[in-house]
Amino acid sequence: MNLKNFFSNIFDIKVETKEDEMKKFLIVGLGNIGEKYTNTRHNIGFKIIDEVAEEHNVSFTTETLGDIATFRFKGRTFILLKPNTYMNLSGKAVKFWLNKENIAIENLLVVTDDLNIDFGTIRIKAKGSDGGHNGLKDIQDKLATNKYPRFRFGVGANYSKGRQVDYVLGEWNKEETSLLIERLPTSAKIITSFGTAGLNNTMNEFNGK
């Protein structure tokens, strides 16, 4: 009997191996808490994470620094996190849950809005700058690296000079709302593909769609 089985049988506890840890993935949707932010462009990370949870029939519970939902799919464990720290302090929640669950940084995927790409366009990258995004900036600061996977969902830049904040904190218009219905299921597939097919295969399949 190996040590894992010994401790599991004697103490009725789950002892995770390195292999177990590599099959766990932390999927973080960025957004702001509160009803007034629910349908804003800046909260697309929350919206995509909610879509994943709904498709896999799991509910969120409020835990340390955020709302958490967990499901298993094709032998992988997906931990969904919606930080409750507000966008600008997202890094604290990300770092806490990576450490708590012993998840490797390459198994982290951060889902966020992006002004620099057209509405609905998808960009998945293994690393990159914060691009002026305060949520990504804080994550990079707390993790002391920009080398973590991120899934950027384009919200476009249809705003006049000096109106950027109003735009990202504004609600989706009717046309965007209609198109989101089509884009959200694809976004949910990206999440499970990341955990089962890997980052490179997921980028090849979904980038630019």
What pLDDT was estimated at residue 3?
A: 56
What pLDDT was estimated at residue 132?
A: 87
The mean-pLDDT minimum among 11-15, 50-54, 90-94, 166-170 falls in 11-15
Q: Is 37 annotated as a binding-site member?
A: yes
Instruction: Give the span between the Cα atoms of 142 and 95, in whole angstroms.
Output: 7
Angle CA 45–143–112, to nearest 5: 15
Encoded amino acid at 143, one letter: L
What pLDDT was estimated at residue 6?
A: 55
The pLDDT tens digits of the residues spanning 6-61 come to: 555 565 555 556 666 679 999 999 999 999 999 999 999 999 999 999 999 999 99
Give yes or no for residue 1 having a pLDDT over 60.
no
| 43 DSSP assignment | G
pLDDT greater at residue 62 or residue 3: 62
**Residue 97, SS3 per DSSP:** helix
The pLDDT tens digits of the residues spanning 102-126 come to: 999 999 999 999 999 999 999 999 9
What pLDDT was estimated at residue 133?
A: 93
End-to-end CA distance of the chain: 49
Encoded amino acid at 11, one letter: F
Out of 23, 24, 42, 123, which one is annotated catalytic?
42
**Residue 40, SS3 per DSSP:** strand
Average pLDDT, the chain: 91
% of the chain at pLDDT higher than 90: 82
Beta carbons of 97 and 138 less than 8 angstroms apart: no
Angle CA 159–152–95, to nearest 5: 120
Q: Is 88 annotated as a binding-site member?
A: yes
**CATH class of domain segment(s) 17-206:** alpha beta
Give yes or no for residue 188 having a pLDDT over 70.
yes
Instruction: Give the span between the Cα atoms of 193 and 122, in whole angstroms.
Output: 14
Q: Is 159 annotated as a binding-site member?
A: no
Among this protein's residues, is 42 annotated catalytic?
A: yes
Q: Is 167 annotated as a binding-site member?
A: no
- Give the start-to-end residue ranges of the domains of the chain: 17-206
